[in-house]
Amino acid sequence: MTPTPLPVSTPGSAPGSTPDDVAPIRLGTRASALATTQSGLVAKRLEELTGRPVELVHIRTEGDVKTGSLASLGGTGVFVTALREALLDGRCDVAVHSLKDLPTTPAPHLTFVTPERADPRDALCARDGLTLATLPRGGRVGTGSPRRAAQIRAARPDLEVVDIRGNVGTRLNRALGPEADLDAVVLAYAGLARLGRTEVVTEALDVDVVTPAPGQGALAVEVRTADIVSDPSTGSGHSLAEAIHLLDHRPTRLAVLAERSVLARLEAGCAAPVGAYATVSGSVLRLRSVVAAVDGTEQMSRGGETRLSPDIAPEVIDDAARALGISVAEHLLADGAERLAPLSTTVPEKA
C-alpha cells in the first residue's frame, strides 16, 4: 500500500493570508517513503506554527547510495552526514532525522529538538499471523539490526536470523510477499505506523523481550544553532526559532537524553547490540538498558530511576537525565558489558 502524501506547501501556497513573497522554510529529508512521510508531519506542523510555506528538499545520503550490509558501511552518520552538510551550507533550513540514526556526539553549530515520541517498540511482521513464540523451530527471521538479532536469538535460540537491507516495502516482501523467503521480519513499529502499515504487524514485541534502540520512535528536528538564537519573526505566525522550541516535547527529550547517554558512556554506536528504554511518569524518570552478546547466548540488563523536580532549571533536569544514563552504563560496564558486545560498533540500524 502506498501512503497518501501529506500536503506540503510550495512557495506562495502557505495556508491563510501569508503573503506570496514570504520565503519558504526548506526542510531537508531523505527521499524514502518513510523519511518523506516523517518529514511531512514536521512540515505540516511548521506551517501551522509559522504561517510560512514549507518545501521538502531531498538529500541523498551515503546510506541511500551504498549497498551491502549496514555493518559494512562503517559510520554512525551514514544516514545523517549529508543532511547536516546541507544545513550548514544553506541548502536547507531544517532537517528531519530518525533520532536513533544520530551520533551521540553533538554536532558543532547545530541543535535539534524532539517532538513527541511514537511507539518505540519493535514489530514482528510474520506470515500466517505468527508471533515470536509461535514461529516454527528453524524459522527464518530477517533484520538488519545487530541489536534486534541478538535479542531475538536470546529469546528464541532455535530461530535463524538473516541479515537484510532495503526500504520498508522491500523488507516486508521478504516475509509477506508472493516470493517470500523468510518467515518474519522485524521493523520499528513507529515507522510502520507513520506509513499506515500497522496491519502487517503480528506482534509488537514487549520491551522486556526486545528492548528498543536508544531514541527509537522519536524524530530529531535539527537546525542551525544561530538561526534559533537570532531568528526574527516573519509573517503572522511564530518565528522559526519559536516554532522549533514549540516542537520540543519535554518527556520525550528527557527519556531520549537518558537513553543516548547510555550509548555515549558505553562508546557504542547505534547498531551495537545495546537497547535502552526510558519513560517519564509524573516526576520520575525510569531507565532500563540491555547489552547482549551478538550470538544471543548471553545478555545483561541494568535499570535505575531519578526524581525530576519541576522547580529547578530545565538544563539541570536535562543533566539529571544524562546522569541517569551514565550511571546505568557504568553499572553495565562494571558487570562486564565489554566482554559481551563490540561496544566500538558505529553503524546505524534501519527502521
What span, in angstroms and rounded, lies between the C-alpha atoms of 41 and 5?
A: 10
What span, in angstroms and rounded, lies between the C-alpha atoms of 246 and 14?
A: 19
Contacts for 317 with CB less than 8 Å, ≥ 6 apart: 254, 308, 309
- Centre a 10 Å sphere on the Cβ of residue 137 and count the other Cβ atoms it contains: 8
What span, in angstroms and rounded, lies between the C-alpha atoms of 163 and 303?
A: 30
User: How remote is the C-alpha of 107 from its chain's centroid?
Assistant: 17
Any bridge partners for residue 74, and if so which?
A: none
Element (H, E) at 98: strand 94-98
The catalytic residue among 64, 89, 93, 101 is 101
Contacts for 186 with CB less than 8 Å, ≥ 6 apart: 122, 123, 124, 125, 141, 142, 143, 145, 148, 152, 205, 210
Any bridge partners for residue 111, and if so which?
A: 223
Cβ(285)–Cβ(305) under 8 Å?
yes
Tell me whether residue 101 is one of the annotated catalytic residues: yes
**Grid-cell match 537570532, residue found:** 230
Catalytic residues: 101
